[in-house]
Amino acid sequence: MPVDVSGKLSYPLIGEIQAVGLTAQELSRSIADRLNARYLRDARVSVAIADAVNYAVTVEGEVKKPGIYPIRGRATLTQAVAMGEGLSVDGQPDDIVILRTINGKRYAARFDLQQIRLGALADPELQQADVVIVGFSRSSRFQRQLVTLLPGLAATLGVFLAFR
């Protein structure tokens, strides 16, 4: 059974059970105690961990695949961008922000991915519920839009000049 983001699992007959912070043995004892209290006499429950996810981070903005990504073990900013399949066409590598909540207060820190890749800056380690936001390049977006508009603009100008 999967454990939800609040650290609980939903078990038939007994409802939600807090799983985070418990060992497999403690969780099996908790489930057995609840089953014995209402439905069974000598329930025996075995819990095995199939897949452990330490935390999840959100990657959004100008990446190819924004989303919420589960993290197993540790992860850095460059790894989070890679999970989002890299920067989009308009992604701005020197405008990446990590939002983090510490003791109920929200903090933001700006990073330059190019400097991290060059080894000039450390690659920050992400924590539970961090949000990575990749900014966009206004000049790149403007150039692409301009190139898209030029054929139509040229045709309109040609028609205008033909009627003169």
55-71 pLDDT per residue, tens: 889 999 999 999 999 88
Give me the pLDDT at residue 84, please. 96
Neighbours of 159 (CB within 10 A): 9
Query: Residues of the chain with pLDDT > 90: what percent?
Result: 55
Mean pLDDT over residues 133-162, rounded?
66
Give me the pLDDT at residue 137, please. 67
Beta bridge partners of 105: 102
CATH for the 1-52 domain, from 3.40.50.300, 3.30.1950.10, 4.10.910.10, 1.10.10.60: 3.30.1950.10
User: What is the CATH T-level fold of the domain 55-138, as seen in this structure?
Assistant: Outer membrane lipoprotein wza fold like (3.10.560)
Q: Where are the chain's structural domains?
A: 1-52, 55-138
102-140 pLDDT per residue, tens: 888 999 999 999 999 999 999 999 998 899 999 986 665
**Cβ-contact 59, 91 below 8 angstroms:** no
Where residue 164 falls among pLDDT bands split at 50, 70, 90?
low
Look over the chain and give the mean of its residue pLDDT values, rounded to a whole number: 86
10-42 pLDDT per residue, tens: 988 899 999 888 899 999 999 999 999 988 999
HEC sequence for the chain: CCCCCCCEEEECCCEEEECCCCCHHHHHHHHHHHHHHHCCCCCCCCCCCCCCCCEEEEEEECECCCEEEEECCCCEHHHHHHHCCCECCCEEEEEEEEEEEECCEEEEEEECHHHHHCCCCCCCECCCCCEEEEEECHHHHHHHHHHHHHHHHHHHHHHHHHCC
Where residue 153 falls among pLDDT bands split at 50, 70, 90?
low
Output the pTM of the full model: 0.59
